[in-house]
Amino acid sequence: SAVISQKPSRDICQRGTSLTIQCQVDSQVTMMFWYRQQPGQSLTLIATANQGSEATYESGFVIDKFPISRPNLTFSTLTVSNMSPEDSSIYLCSVTGTGYLEQYFGPGTRLTVT
């Protein structure tokens, strides 16, 4: 499986600011995904990011709040914009395996908004 890294691993941010989270993969992948895990909750898919096309957002998530970039086959960023305490979560990126069925996850970025 691919090795996935995320930066930063954690951050504490002021409300009203924005944070960009980076996801780097050690091999080329077609599909990348961004998830949110709110405190004590399960994972919710934010969007799917394909290289060379606009990200596809799930219901309840909008591009203005969570803009995503996918400049190449090994890298993606998720920005959490105009943050509020409700945005305090772990944000995880994932990539598909070779069969496009299973997903492998990065270590996550723990965000706290004060």
Partner 1 sequence: AQSVTQPDIHITVSEGASLELRCNYSYGATPYLFWYVQSPGQGLQLLLKYFSGDTLVQGIKGFEAEFKRSQSSFNLRKPSVHWSDAAEYFCAVGVFSGGYNKLIFGAGTRLAVHP
SS3 84: coil
Pick from 68, 61, 8, 81: nearest CA to 32: 68
**By CB under 8 A, residue 104 contacts partner 1:** yes
**By CB under 8 A, residue 73 contacts partner 1:** no
Pick from 13, 16, 32, 30: nearest CA to 83: 16
From 17-25, 66-74, 76-84, 96-104, give the range in contact with partner 1 by CB under 8 A.
96-104
**By CB under 8 A, residue 105 contacts partner 1:** yes
Among 14, 42, 53, 114, binds partner 1 (CB under 8 A): 42
Can you tell me the distance from the alpha carbon of 57 to that of 3, in angstroms, rounded to the nearest whole number? 25
**By CB under 8 A, residue 8 contacts partner 1:** no
**By CB under 8 A, residue 101 contacts partner 1:** yes
The amino acid at 41: Q
Q: Alpha carbon 89 to chain centroid distance?
A: 11
**Which residues contribute to the site for partner 1 (CB under 8 A)?**
1, 4, 31, 41-45, 48, 92, 94, 96, 100-108
